[in-house]
Structure formats: structure tokens, C-alpha cells
Chains A and B, each alone.
Chain A
Amino acid sequence: MTAPLLAVEKVSVHYGSTRHPVRAVDGVSFTIAPGESVGLVGESGCGKTTLGHAVMRLCALHTGHICFQQQDIAALKGRALKGYRKQAQMIFQDPYGALNARMTVGRALLEALQVHRIGPRRERRDRAAALFEAVGLDPLYLDRYPHEFSGGQRQRIGIARALAVDPRLIIADEPVSALDVSVQVQILNLLKDLQRERNLAYLFVAHDLAVVRYVCDRILVMYLGRIVESGTPDEILAHPKHPYTQALLSAVPDVEKGLRHGVAKRLALKGDVPAAAARIHGCPFHPRCPLAQERCRQETPALRATDGTRQVACHLAEPGS
């Protein structure tokens, strides 16, 4: 296996007071290889977006390390940090909010080129036009303002801005969840094409399993700031091992798909996600788990390999099943 592009090691991110912190991300480890796309799924508030922000160094880590090409990004400052931002970029969930309404979209692209001093000044506009074409927009519209575009077009502009610095890694924070279903497919296809052309690695944050399955090589399922299961999309969707993943899958409102994946009975979870600041003893999922046993209340299960690339954090998942 080649050296990973991004290695996240035991990362925790805490919010709020030091006495009662909100553990948004709690000891998460994973790697992303160059050109690989990794999906991060979980319900709202499980820490997916925070993890994405931590990787972008938009929020401080409590513990752990994030290494990009064997370099700890927490230590980066000034020019080195700028260099990292040239390597890793972000696509945002809200295509309306992610563009400055008082700036033409061409200016937004030029700014990305200016900040990183890419290309000679005179050629930057041509580069911006080329980026526009790469994401399937007409360069004639470079001088328009964001409110003159549709949601899908704006998301394309957001993608063009992220691509402006020619990054190796893109953190896509729910890039399609705010779009119409018909437009979602267009954007997902665009992202897949760009990945192939430019050898991009994605950290693809989403709550929609179908979306992640379409784009990703590997899926990480997150619950309450921890990764509870990881594996290839086919493995996870066909044979979810963690009870939370099973519940997540059965919640997909598609009867046929639910039957096909063998979760015929809808597995509705009891209760709510525990209060963010609550500290749960044992397995974080046990208060809502239909299979919870005494051991789950005592011991926190570690993420362990079951078979092949599969990893599950559950006492009850037998290896090799």
C-alpha cells in the first residue's frame, strides 16, 4: 500500500467549556490514499462536519494528529499553512451561502488564484475561464453575481473555486444535500469525472447513503463523534454489522431497497441522540441499541477488523460473519 495522503490519528475536537465539553469528534482515526474517495456518513450532529473542518484546520484539535503527506498540519503556520491550503480544499453544503453575494463569481475564482499566486497575473482570467469550462459552465458568466445562478450552477462554481488551486484532497461537506435530486446526479457525476481526470482524493461527508455509495470507495459510519463501522460500500450496504448502521440503512425510505438489503423490518431507533455534553459510559450507542447487553454498558468497544477491510466497533459483531 502506498503512503496515505491523509492520516487522521485519534483526533478529538471539543467545543464549549473545558469542564463540560461537547465531544464533537472523539478519538477518530482513518487514512485516505491518493485518489481515493472516502465517505463519511452519520446522522445530524454526529460530528461529520466538525471532522471535515478539523481536517481543513478550520477548528482546533483537542487531541490527536492529522498528517497530510506525513506532515502534521496542526504545526503549520503562515506560508506552510497556505501551502497546505493549496493542497486541500473544501466544497460546501450550502451553494447559496458559500459564495459572497457582493462579488462576481469571476472575482471569487481570481481571488483563489491571487492568494496562492498561481500563474502570471495576465493569464489568471484565462485560467478562471478554463475552470469554468471544466465544471461545465460558460465562461461568459464570469462577471455575473451569485444570485443570478441556480443552486446547481452555484455548486459548480464552488467546485471550480476549490479546483482553482489544483488540490490533491477535497473535503466535500454534503455537497449535494441542498440540491434537487435531478441536479444531485449531475454534480455527483461532475465530481466523479474530476476525480478521474485530476486524481483527487475526496473526504465525502454526507448523510445520504445512496449518494455516498455512488461516489465513494470506502465508507466510514459515524455515531456521536466516533467511527462505528468502516468498509467498502457494497459490504456495508449489503451486510451492515453494527446495529447503528443497520438502523441507518433501514431508515432509507425505499421499500424495495430495504427488502433487497435484507433489512425487511424497519429498525426504528428508540429515543434521541443523547445530549451533546453527556458522557456515556460504555458503548456510546447502547442507550438506543436494540441489542444492548450488560457488557455494552461497561466497556467501550474498540474499532476492530472483522474480515478484510471491514472494521466494526461492536462487541456483538463476530469476526468473519
Chain B
Amino acid sequence: MNAPAPQTPSVATHGARTLWGDAWARLRRQRWAMICLWIVAFYTGLAAYGEILYRWHQWHDTTPAYQRTDLDRQYLPPSVLRNPFAVIQTDPATGIQTEIRGAQRVRAGFRNLRQNPLGTDGLGRDVLQRLVQGARIACQVGIITSLIAIPIGVLLGCLAGFFGGRVDDFIVWLYSTFAAIPGLLFILAIAMVVGQGLLGVYLGIGLTMWVGLCRLIRGEVIKHKDRAYVTAARALGVNPFVILFRHILPNVFHVVIVTFTLRFPAAIGTEVFLSFLGIGVQGEPSWGVMISNARLRLWYGVWWEMAFTTLAIFFIVLAFNLLGDALRDALDPRLRTAEDTP
């Protein structure tokens, strides 16, 4: 027959590489992206720990440390600033106070350091414990709102882009209408309907967040539906829905991932804001609630609750944003070059 096609050595020497694998390899080479990934993983771990703690206390019907009030320990600064190694011992017999020294002093000092390491709030509750719970709520908000917004956005975007015509007109009208309502008012309205609390936050953020994703997916699908591989599938007689969800969707899915990483911190921010306003989380230490509490005594020098909460928010938002940018670079085929693959 005909001569065998020349095989390039690179094909022969290593196994199959998926485009996802390539993207991961590209991401691995960006140091900052990996640091951000670790930060996100750390927060996720904190959130998981917080969740376990929360469930455990709920199961045993006990008051968790982050809710336990102790009016003797109000407004304690972070432990490092409390002079932890100056340990005074009172002799029970004579009442003479002496400073203990040596190994005992070191042991006692470290015990003091471990107690309320980031200080306490106005009711004597531990700030660190409350921060962990805040991470739990933030992650919950990010994940659940994404679970609401991503399916809606992907489904509607795909349908609008692929089928065009009236379907497209209707979906564009729908998301334009949603986009035209000021987001906060919309969330407030939903919170009014379903009542204050996390459910209103989830629904409010989830039902406003799909708009941007829908628009992006629609554009990408429109770009892809006239590509030759789609025409080839059509010429082969593949069902249109199969073409849409098995051929086109995997090719535009990087948009979903990037949008997810960029929307996640936005959702956290919105939750903080809503909780700060008092229409979000009720009775649980969300970061927004903490900031709202901390502002009361801030001018009297009680800075730690405010500072550590904002730092916690700052790092996760920064990490997610940098990660999102790096992911976009790694996943976007437009920026790909042939020699970029190792």
C-alpha cells in the first residue's frame, strides 16, 4: 500500500498527554500560582477543620470554644503582646507573689502563648477560633453559590450560543434583565423573601453570579460552533445535544474554571458585606459579623479582631485572584505556542 506516515519521535517516546495535563504542567511552572494554590488549600483545610468542629459540637450539643463567652477575658490582646513569660506565682500560704524562673517559667510561658493567640473579642471569645469558623462559612458560601450559578450559567450559555435564534434572544433578554437589577438590591430582595440567614445569601449571590458566566460561555460557544470539528461532527450525523455537550463544552470548560476562581472570592466578599450589614449570617462567626463587631471598639485600640479578620480575607482573595489569572494563562489555548509544551 502506501508508505507509512513519518512518526515524529515525540509521539513515539511518551504517553498520551491531555490538554488538561499540559495546562497543569504549565501551572506547575509558575511559582506564584503554586504558592496561591497552597494558600487556597490551607484555607480549605481550615474550613474542613472548622466544619468538623462545628458538627462535633452540634452532635454533642455543647458550646464550641468560638461561642463560649468569658467576661473575665474581654478584649485580651494577642498573646505575644500580653508579656507571656512574666509569670507570677502566688504562694497560697503567705500570699507573697514571686516571679517563677527557669524551665517552669518557659513551660508556663508557652501555655500562656497558646491561650487566645490572636486575642479575644468583647465577649471574651477567641478570635482565632472565630476566624476558622469564618473560613468555614466563606468556603461554604463560595462553593454553594458556585453550585447554584455554574449549572445555570453553563446550561443557558451553551443553549443560547449553540441554537441561536429565539432561544438566544430569550436567554440574552433574561440575563440582561438580571444584569440590569443592582446586585445588592436583588440580594436584599431575596433575603426579604427567604428570610435572613445563609440561605438568602446563597440564593442571592448564586442567582446573580450566573450572568457573567452565561455571557462568557455563550460567546465561546458561538466561536466554537462554526469550527471545523463541529462541522465534521454534524457531517457525521452526531446528535446536536451530543455535539454541544460532548464536543463543544469540553473545549470551553476552561472558562468555567477561571470564572469559578475569580467568582469565589467575589462571593466571599459579598457575603462579608451582607453579614456586615446584618442581613447575612445570624449568630455564627462569619468574617463579616466579626468585622461588624470589631468596629465598635476599634477607636479604643482594640485592633486585633479587625486586623486579623481583614488579613484573612485579604490573603484568600489575593490568592484566588492570582490563581485565577495564572489558570487563565495556563488554560487559554490562544496563548499556547507549539514549543511551550515540554
Contact = CB atoms under 8 A, between A and B. Distances in A.
Contacts of B296: none
Contacts, number: 100
B3 interface: yes
A283 interface: no
Interface of A: 53, 56, 58, 81-82, 85-86, 89-90, 92-94, 97-104, 111-112, 115-116, 136-138, 141, 143-145, 147-150, 152-153, 156, 158, 161, 165, 186, 189-190, 193
Contacts of A94: 228
Nearest to B253: A102
A186 B16 contact: no
B11 A115 contact: no
A57 to B, nearest CB: 9
B5 A111 contact: no
Nearest to A116: B237
A143 B6 CA distance: 18
Interface of B: 1-8, 10-11, 16-19, 227-229, 231-239, 247, 250-251, 333, 341
A80 to B, nearest CB: 11
A186 B3 contact: yes
A99 B229 contact: yes
A76 to B, nearest CB: 11
A53 B231 CA distance: 9
A313 B124 CA distance: 97
Contacts of A141: 7, 11
Contacts of A193: 1-2
A100 B229 contact: yes
For the complex of A and B, the 5 pairs showing the least CB-CB separation, nearest first, are A85-B237, A97-B228, A102-B250, A98-B228, A90-B235
Given A93-B228, A97-B228, A115-B237, 4 more contacts: A82-B237, A116-B237, A136-B2, A189-B2
B14 to A, nearest CB: 9
B1 A136 contact: yes
A116 B238 CA distance: 9
Nearest to B333: A101
A175 to B, nearest CB: 12
A89 B16 contact: no
Contact of B251 (A86, A102, A186): A102
A145 B19 contact: yes
29 contacts: A53-B231, A58-B234, A58-B235, A85-B235, A92-B228, A92-B232, A99-B232, A100-B229, A100-B250, A100-B251, A101-B333, A102-B19, A102-B251, A111-B233, A111-B238, A116-B237, A136-B2, A136-B4, A137-B5, A141-B7, A145-B18, A148-B17, A149-B8, A150-B5, A150-B8, A165-B236, A186-B3, A189-B2, A193-B2
B194 to A, nearest CB: 39
Contact of B16 (A111, A145, A165): A145
A89 B232 CA distance: 9
Contacts of A137: 4-5
Nearest to B251: A102
Nearest to B11: A148
A141 B6 CA distance: 13
Contacts of A158: 232
A18 to B, nearest CB: 16
A96 B235 CA distance: 17
A157 B3 CA distance: 15
B270 to A, nearest CB: 33
A148 B19 contact: no
B231 A186 contact: no
